[in-house]
Amino acid sequence: MNKVSECTLIRNDLLILFEKFSQLGQFSVPTLFALFFAFCVVLFFTFFFWGWGLINNFKGLQQIKQRIISWWIILGLYILVLGIHPLITLFGFGLISFLAFREFLSQVKIINSEVGMRRVHFWAYIAIPIQYFLVWYGEFLLFILFIPVGLLFLLPFRAIISGLYEKSIVTFSILYWGLMLTVFSVSHIPALLFLPSIPGHEAGHQGTIFFLIFITQMNDVFQFLAGKTFGKHSLSPMISPNKTIEGCFGGLLGSLGMAYILAFLVPLTTLQCLFLGLFISVLGIFGDLTISSLKRDMKIKDMSNFIPGHGGVLDRLDSLTFASLGFFYFLYYLVYV
């Protein structure tokens, strides 16, 4: 039996296996293929750096190993959150938004009980379940306007009826910006599940979400590896000295490659997928630098130590904050408008 026949048999066996698994959960066969591909990529990096560590225990190896462990955790959480039921997906991303928003407020020292606006803070937290309820409810206009427009009025209104005014400018700005960054942007990821079905799109919306998350994460990986290997020129010395121009080019090229490989997951042409991969990479870099500028202003390295090797939840979401918005509206415009 030649190698081509063996590969065909393996592919057919995997297809039969994935068809059986697709009947048990929410994932389609194309999405299961993509998950298998992601599993192989993480497995490759696991053995590669484990073997490299046996030969040369170089500086930064421990950080890479921590990141690899976190990749396994993230892959497992993705399968758990998106593979059971859309309501579990909503709850999972809602919890992520809550943790990220809480991290953000805990690091902004001006937000505390002495400001006298704890009730305003409570209204900000209540906005999280309301935003995700609107995702589930399917009211697209309310979903995209509730936080940008509604909270712009509701937060000051709650302070005004209580006669609170001390440090109101700082408080409103921080709460509003925090909700936009950690709730509004992140809620666009599960919102993809509730868009109308697309005829002929076999991967389904779970595949679309996987395309976004995997390319965003691999963009960070390729940036990290290219920066460690070739990085010499800092992209933004004042904000993120360790982020290099060479690393960003590595991320862009890696994202283009992943977008080409995973083009079957989104209902777009190959050329549109390549542009989308490039678009996600650029927005990911911009989101990363935005969170880095906030941490630089707060004089902290990480938002927390919630995820080993990655810092806090918001540290892990940094690339997705802008990429999720750009991806959602780019896809929505091309497919539904």
Per-domain residue ranges of the chain: 3-336
pLDDT at 6: 52
Do residues 18 and 33 make contact, with C-beta atoms less than 8 angstroms apart? yes
Query: With b meaning 16 or more CB within 10 Å and e meaning fewer, what string describes 178-215?
Result: bbebbbbbbbbbbbbbbbeebeebebbbbbbbbbbbbb
Angle (CA) 33-63-323 rounded to 5° is 50
pLDDT at 158: 79
Q: Which of 206, 220, 225 is nearest to 283 (CA)?
A: 220
Beta-bridged to residue 311, according to DSSP, are: 307
Q: What is the DSSP letter of 163?
A: T
pTM here?
Answer: 0.87
Beta-bridged to residue 244, according to DSSP, are: 234
pLDDT at 331: 93
pLDDT at 310: 65
Q: How far apart are the first and last CA of the chain?
A: 50
pLDDT at 62: 73
Three-state DSSP at 57 gives coil
pLDDT at 110: 56
Do residues 9 and 185 make contact, with C-beta atoms less than 8 angstroms apart? no
Token pair 């992140």 is at which residue?
Answer: 186
Cα–chain center distance at 45 = 20
Distance (Å, whole) CA 309 – CA 75: 15
pLDDT at 115: 46
Cα torsion through 280, 326, 32, 52, rounded to 10: 30
Contacts of 47 by beta carbon, 8 Å cutoff, 6+ apart: none
pLDDT at 18: 53
- List alpha helices for the chain, DSSP H: 3-22, 29-55, 61-83, 86-107, 118-137, 140-145, 151-161, 168-179, 188-191, 204-230, 245-261, 270-298, 313-336
Query: Which residues of the chain have a pLDDT value below 50?
Result: 111-115
Region label for 63, one of left (φ > 0), alpha (ψ between -120 and 50) or beta (otherwise): alpha
pLDDT at 114: 43
